[in-house]
Amino acid sequence: MSHPGKIGRLLIKMLFKKPATLNYPADHSGMPAGFRGKLKFNSLNCIGCQMCMRDCPAGAIKIKKTGEKQFEAQIDLARCIYCGQCVDSCPKKALEITADFELAQLDPAKLKVNLNAANKNNP
């Protein structure tokens, strides 16, 4: 039995419900925990084996030597595809993925970041 306007009752009900869309950017609550966003680098654990560089599908990470047994990671945020393969490939767990995804910049040069967290000589 078909009749037009079957969705009518639902429409009226929806009028009194809270809307399903968010008022972004005032309301940030969209992403769940465990979302793959920006990388975090713990240079104390890095041994400079460059396995992450070999496995990166986009060529976004570069490990540079800054001193005796000290390394820093240079990430190109524009090239990174946030897959997390480098996190899995690292034998010493020096890389970690956070849920930070609001990474847009107006200046393209700012998208190449140097990560050297917990570095002994650099405060």
Cα–Cα distance list, 118 to 7, 9, 41, 72, 113 (Å): 58, 59, 9, 10, 16
Q: Does 26 participate in binding other proteins (rule CB under 8 A)?
A: no
Closest approach of other proteins to the CB of residue 74, in Å: 16
Closest approach of other proteins to the CB of residue 79, in Å: 12
Q: Does 115 participate in binding other proteins (rule CB under 8 A)?
A: no
| One-letter amino acid of 116 | N
Rounded to 5 degrees, what are φ and ψ at 64? Answer: -120, 145
Q: Does 1 participate in binding other proteins (rule CB under 8 A)?
A: yes
Report the site for other proteins in 52-111 (rule: CB under 8 A): 54-58, 81-85, 88-89, 97
32, 68, 106, 123: residue in contact with other proteins (rule CB under 8 A): 32
25, 26, 33, 123: residue in contact with other proteins (rule CB under 8 A): 33
Closest approach of other proteins to the CB of residue 21, in Å: 5
Q: Does 15 participate in binding other proteins (rule CB under 8 A)?
A: yes
HSE at residue 28, side-chain half, CA atoms within 13 A, is: 5
Calculate ∠ Cα 109-72-83, nearest 5°: 70
Residues shown for the chain: 123
